[in-house]
């Protein structure tokens, strides 16, 4: 057995709703693009390219992790606001409460490819639960 790596490797799958698990591919690309503007590098993985893949350096501290999580949370919150999704102030998960905002309904608005936000009403979906996965 050989040791080929050490450190942290994190993957977070973005979906448009927790019931159908519709991949949030465009949103994942937008998060990656906006983090890159802030000198934080992530990549997309998975068959639908909706898994945020993060491989920080060995010197990555808890403070660095907190900063990255805050930035990702802010970007996702901005995306939700741009799409007009309703968000409760607190999310309750199996790990306790979180300050993270989660949209309560799909309103049929779709996200563009990371450049801006479109409000395409031609492809609206009937009321579906739309929640982002917890970290």
DSSP annotation string for 24-73: -HHHHHHHHHHHHHTT---EEESTTS-EEEE---TT--HHHHHHHHHHHH
> Can you give the pTM of this predicted structure?
0.60
Dist. CA 41–CA 121, nearest whole Å:
33
Tokens of 117: 């936000």
Dist. CA 101–CA 118, nearest whole Å:
21
Residue with tokens 């939700």: 80
Question: What is the model's pLDDT at position 109?
Answer: 38
CATH of domain 7-135: 3.90.1150
Dist. CA 124–CA 53, nearest whole Å:
29
Question: What is the model's pLDDT at position 63?
Answer: 96
pLDDT digit of tens for each residue in the chain (135 aa)? 545 556 788 899 999 888 999 999 999 999 999 999 999 999 999 999 999 999 999 899 999 999 999 999 999 999 989 988 765 554 445 555 555 544 444 334 344 433 333 333 333 333 333 444 455
Start-to-end CA distance of the chain, whole Å, equals: 32
Question: What is the model's pLDDT at position 118?
Answer: 37
Question: What is the model's pLDDT at position 34?
Answer: 97
Compute the chain's Rg from CA coordinates.
Answer: 16
Tokens of 9: 């490797």
Question: What is the model's pLDDT at position 38?
Answer: 95
Count the Cβ atoms, other than its own, within 10 Å of residue 18: 15
């Amino acid at each position: 057995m050989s040791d080929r790596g050490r450190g942290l490797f994190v993957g977070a799958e973005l979906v448009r709703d927790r019931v159908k698990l519709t991949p949030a591919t465009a949103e994942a690309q937008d998060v990656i693009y906006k983090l890159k503007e802030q000198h934080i590098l992530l990549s997309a993985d998975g068959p639908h390219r909706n898994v945020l893949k993060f491989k920080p350096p060995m010197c990555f501290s808890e403070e660095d992790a907190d900063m990255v999580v805050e930035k990702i949370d802010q970007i996702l919150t901005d995306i939700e606001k741009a799409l007009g999704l309703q968000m409760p102030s607190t999310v309750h998960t199996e790990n306790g409460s979180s300050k993270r905002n989660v949209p309560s309904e799909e309103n049929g608005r779709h996200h563009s490819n990371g450049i801006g936000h479109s409000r395409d009403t031609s492809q609206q979906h009937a009321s579906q639960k739309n929640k982002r996965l917890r970290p």
